Amino acid sequence: MVLTTGAEIEIDIQGFASSGSGVGRLDGLAVFVPGALPGERVLALITRLRGKFAEARLLSIVRESAERTQPPCPVFGRCGGCAMQQADYNFQLKLKRGFVYDTLRRIAKIDTAVSETIASPEPYHYRHRMHYHAAWVKGKLHLGFFIQRSRILVEAAACLLAAPPISSLAQVLPDMLAPFRGELVDLRGVVLRCNSSGEQMSLILLVNTPIMRGRELARQLQGAVSNLTEVWECAGAPRNGTYGGHWQLLAGQSYLSEQLCGREFRLSPAAFTQVNPAVAERLYQLVGSYAALTGAETVLDLYSGAGAIALLLAGRAAQVIGVESFEPAVADAERAAKLNGADNCRFICGAVELVLPRLAEQGVVVDVAVLDPPRAGCDAAALEALLMLQPRRIIYVSCDPATLARDLRRLAEGGYQVGAVQPLDMFPQTGHVECVVLITKL
């Protein structure tokens, strides 16, 4: 059978993709079907053909999985956020564990045990940071998310993934901003954050140009929302994120106060933080356990962000050196070190692949290295430089099993072996999975 765009097919779903789609095989092609679950037979319509794979739209379910549930969200399947609400939560955890195992075996050629996925205490209402796209429709502001591969906005201010303080504010915010429509005509989005206790909230307004009467707007918002501790404007930021652009504090303090693993942090608006605090704490505890520190070690925390891992390990090590290229995050980390009295913790602002060779030239002896790179994984030059330092233990924190597998293969070629693989469900209802991997020197 020669597949063509627009063809209807019946296919057995056997696998699971990082996008959350079900995967079947037909005539040598992998066919990705959003909404389908492993174990199901479905009728689907081919929508795209790309080399060795195809994408299809689910038309109907011929044989339904016993793990299928009714999605609670009214816009599930249209909104580009969730991909797995149709699956029982325990089944989601099982699928993610299997996906990690299969990815490591296929890409890294590593056949190692993968622990059961650590569940999120809250399968819904767990996100403490939400980036809503914004659009004015017939004079009314809509907040929501784009349909995949489109600029079509699906209104979802009441998103079920948002922590309750964020969801509550998102649902009333359009009416609060309505009197300033003239000043917010080019509003592209809003970012809402709250700390783990919900006692402090932050609002970032993403605009093309600075907001006229922005401070007046911010004062009115703070007057109406008692726990809104800061209001920011980010003008001219790129559409693919909130970094860059011109930042302006319109009202309140310039940070959110947060407690993580007993440490105090003051987080600036653009610094990266994990969106699920409960799972993040479990992740940091796992890193501490894998590090197995005695108090005599030198630890590298690479891609250190706001310094959460570095501060956690500082109390158990001789010294911790954090390396991070994003300057505001380095400032947050340095401030956290002072707040927590971590005198043995220092941070270097720079690209990991450039900083590590300098540390090697200085004769720094590294016992343990923690890697927590972005989704793209580690730069090849960074891994080469790390191998020059030869730490006895490496702990890799990953949000993408494919790039994790690629980097583990490189480390294996450099004389290291995988000791433990622990998935964590940082993002329930989506196909994403976090992993912490212990790697030891042969």
Cβ proximity of 251 and 324 under 8 Å: no
Q: What are phi and psi of 10, to 5 degrees?
A: -105, 135
Residue 303, token pair as written in the block: 């891609």
Contacts of residue 197, Cβ cutoff 8 Å, sequence gap at least 6: 259
Sheet of 41-50, strand order: 8-12, 41-50, 53-63, 29-33, 22-26, 15-16
Reply yes or no on whether 82 is catalytic.
no
Say how many CA atoms lie within 13 Å of 27 toward its Cβ. Answer: 9
DSSP tag of 88: -
**Euclidean distance between CA atoms 59 and 18, whole angstroms:** 21
The tokens for 330 are: 């380095």
CA distance 257 to 280: 16
Beta bridge partners of 48: 55
By the 8 A CB rule, do 154 and 304 touch? no
Give, in degrees to the nearest 5, the angle at Cα 321 between 351 and 352. 15
Task: Using CA atoms of 337, 265, 309, 302 in order, give the dihedral in degrees to the nearest 10.
Answer: -70
Secondary structure, 3-state, 172-214: HHHHHHHHHCCCCCCEEEEEEEECCCCCCEEEEEEECCCCCCH
- Which residue in 79, 194, 234, 399 is the catalytic one? 399
CA distances from 119 to 76, 92, 160 (A): 22, 10, 17
Which of 333, 338, 335 is closest to 323 using CA atoms?
333
| 346/303 Cα distance (integer angstroms) | 13
Q: DSSP strand E in 268-400: where?
A: 298-302, 319-324, 345-349, 368-371, 393-398
Alpha-carbon distance of 382 to 249, in angstroms, equals 35
- Work out the angle at residue 378's Cα, subtended by the Cα atoms of residues 437 and 267, and round it to the nearest 5 degrees: 85
Active site members: 399
